[in-house]
Structure 1
Amino acid sequence: MLNFIVKRSLGLLPTLLIVAVLVFLFVHLLPGDPARLAAGPEADDATVALVRADLGLDQPLPQQFLHFFVRIAHGDFGVSMRSKRPVVTEIGERFMPTLLLTLTSMVWAVVFGMAIGIVSAVWRNRWPDRIGMALAVSGISFPAFALGMALMELFSVHLGWLPVVSDGSWRSYVLPSITLGAAVAAVMARFTRASFVEVLNEDFVRTARAKGVAEQWVVIKHCLRNAMIPVVTMMGLQFGFLLGGSIVVEVVFNWPGLGRLLVDSVSMRDYPVIQAEVLLFSLEFIVINLIVDVLYAVINPTIRFR
């Protein structure tokens, strides 16, 4: 298993390098002059030139990339153009709210999504299946920003049960997590149903039933593990999408997380923060894919020998 993890980890390094190059190029293609924004609308050309030199934006692009790559290799992501604070500090303060929101959303989405998918597969083409798939299609089809505003209007404005914006309590996580996890729960339900329907038609399931094994043990003991590989794949991908896709939800609920920070940084052309955040999101996807590969090997040990 250790050799398997090491080989997979080394294979991810070229991906990180390519992502770093693309992030640097895409950020510098953004319209607008960050030196002008940092200097202020009333600054003259001489002041803007001084700010541009201070930010290192007057250097040729290859030289800027070389400095950028050397800094990130040493763990230095620079200083925010907007707040003049280290980028690591800016991201560190916003990371935990986003991570906790993502974990909360993922937990309930996986539990409810898998439960709906299993029930729909066991009672397929009957009323539990139709109700479950109708809910899944609704969850996928409804835009996150529209769902968030509808929930906010109902539970915060009219009923007054939950806060509109974060107040630091567990009640603040309810509406954003439901908004963020609705689409994930719907996807998990559909994938779980498809995977279970395929497994339920296998010979070993029919053999277990012929031996008189109770239906709940057939589902839990024989079907669950064999149906988990595609479900784990989707679970890992959806967790990565939640981390990167929390931007809309954080803006709607004014959540103090990485998504809100990224939106503010793009509007201010804060290059160091944008680069660091996109690299962080990319690294999260890569690490999640590695974890998914390891889980493959745990669920099905023959995978690690292929």
Structure 2
Amino acid sequence: MLNFLVKRLFGLLPTLFIVAVLVFLFVHLLPGDPARLAAGPEADDATVALVRADLGLDRPLPQQFVNFFWRIAHGDFGVSTRSKRPVSQEIAERFMPTLWLTLASMVWAVAIGMALGIVSAVWRNRWPDRLGMTLAVSGISFPAFALGMLLMEVFSVQLGWLPIVGDGTWRGYVLPSLTLGAAVAAVMARFTRASFVEVMHEDFVRTARAKGVPEWRVIARHCLRNALIPVVTMMGLQFGFLLGGSIVVEVVFNWPGLGRLLIDAVSMRDYPVIQAEVLLFSLEFIIINLIVDVLYAVINPTIRFK
């Protein structure tokens, strides 16, 4: 296992290098002049030229490319062209709100999604199964921004139970986490159901039932653990998507997280922030995949011997 972890960690470097190259090329293909946006619409050409020189955008593209990688290698992601603050400081302030929102969304999405999936598999082709899969399809089909506005209209405007924007308490997390986790819960329910249905037809499950093992123990002890491998894979990927893909929800609820920061950076052509955030999201996906691979060995001990 240690050798596996070391190899995967060293494998991060070429992956991040390729991502960094693509990000650098992508942001420089975005339309618009960052110097003009930073200087303001009333600035004359001389002021724009000074701003462009200050941002280093007057240098040839290959030189900008080398400087970009040199700074990254030393842990320097530059200064935001919008706020004139270090990019690392900007991201550090926005990271925790996004992380807590993602964790809150993931907790309830996993709990409800797995419960729906297990119930649908146990009572397959009966009314609990049909109801659960109907809810799952609805959760996948309903757009996040529409669900967020609907929840705000009902629970904030009409009933007045919950705040529209975050107020620093647990109540501020309810509506954004429900909106963000709805699609994950739906996917979790479908994956769990499919995995359980497959496991419930295995020989060891029939043997356990033939021995007189109670049905709840067959489901909890024999089926659940063996059905978790594909579910854990999906959980890891969905967590990465939540952490990096909460942009729409953060905009709808005016959440001070990484998604909102990325939207502001793109609108202002803030190259350093865009590059740093995309690299961070890529690193998150790689680390989450590594954690998922380790969890395989925890769930099924036979994997570690392979």
TM-score w.r.t. structure 1 length? 0.99
RMSD: 0.8
In structure 2, the residue matched to 1:14 is 14
Q: Paired residue for 1:176?
A: 176
- Does the CA-based 8 Å contact 1:229-1:296 persist in structure 2? yes
Residue in 2 aligned with 1:33?
Answer: 33
* 1:79 matches 2:79: yes
Structure 1: how far apart are the matches of 2:96 and 2:108?
18
Q: Given the alignment of the two structures, is residue 215 of structure 1 paired with residue 221 of structure 2, yes or no?
A: no
Q: Match of 1:202? A: 202
- Provide the residue aligned with 1:234 in structure 2: 234
- 2:143 counterpart residue number: 143
Task: Give, in angstroms, the shift of residue 302 of structure 1.
Answer: 3.4
Partner of 2:98: 98
SS of the residue 2:193 aligns to: helix
**Quick one: which amino acid aligns to residue 109 of structure 2?**
A
Q: For 1:8 and 1:273, locate their aligned partners in 2 and report how far apart those are by CA, in whole Å.
A: 27
Distance 1:301 1:57 in 2: 54
> Does the aligned pair in 2 maintain the 1:33–1:269 contact within 8 Å?
yes
The one-letter code matched in structure 2 to 1:67 is N
2:129 aligned partner, one-letter code = D
Cα distance in 2 for partners of 1:222, 1:301 equals 14
Q: SS at 1:208's partner residue? A: helix
Task: Give the equivalent residue in structure 1 for 2:271.
Answer: 271
Per-residue CA deviations over 1:205-227 (Å, capped at 9, x if unaligned) read 00000000000100111011110
Paired with 1:86 and 1:264, the residues of 2 have a C-alpha distance of: 16
The aligned runs of 1:282-301 (5 Å cut-off) are 282-301=282-301
Superposition deviation, residue 300 in structure 1:
2.3
1:59 aligns with 2:59: yes
Deviations 1:39-91 (A, max 9, x none): 11111111111111110101111111111111111111000001000001101
| Structure 2: distance between partners of 1:133 and 1:217 | 24
Whether the aligned pair in 2 keeps the contact of 1:4 and 1:304 (CA below 8 Å) is: no
Aligned partners of 1:16, 1:235: CA distance in 2, in Å?
23
Mapped partners of 1:216, 1:2: distance in 2:
37
User: How much has 1:99 moved relative to structure 2?
Assistant: 0.2
Give the 4+ runs in structure 1 shifted more than 2 A. Answer: 300-306
Q: For 1:67 and 1:229, locate their aligned partners in 2 and report how far apart those are by CA, in whole Å.
A: 43
Aligned residue pairs, count: 306
**In the TM superposition, what is the alpha-carbon distance from 1:130 to its structure 2 partner?**
0.5
1:249 alignment counterpart = 249
Opposite residue 139 of structure 1, the aligned amino acid is G
Corresponding position of 2:49: 49
- 1:305 CA displacement: 4.3
Residue 304 of structure 1: how far off its partner (Å): 3.5
Query: What residue ranges of structure 1 are gaps of 5+ in the alignment?
Result: none
Measure how far apart 1:303 and its partner are.
2.8
Contact residue 179 and residue 249 of structure 1 kept, 8 A: yes
Q: Percent identity?
A: 87
Q: Which runs of 5+ in 2 are unaligned?
A: none
Counterpart of 2:157 in structure 1: which amino acid? V
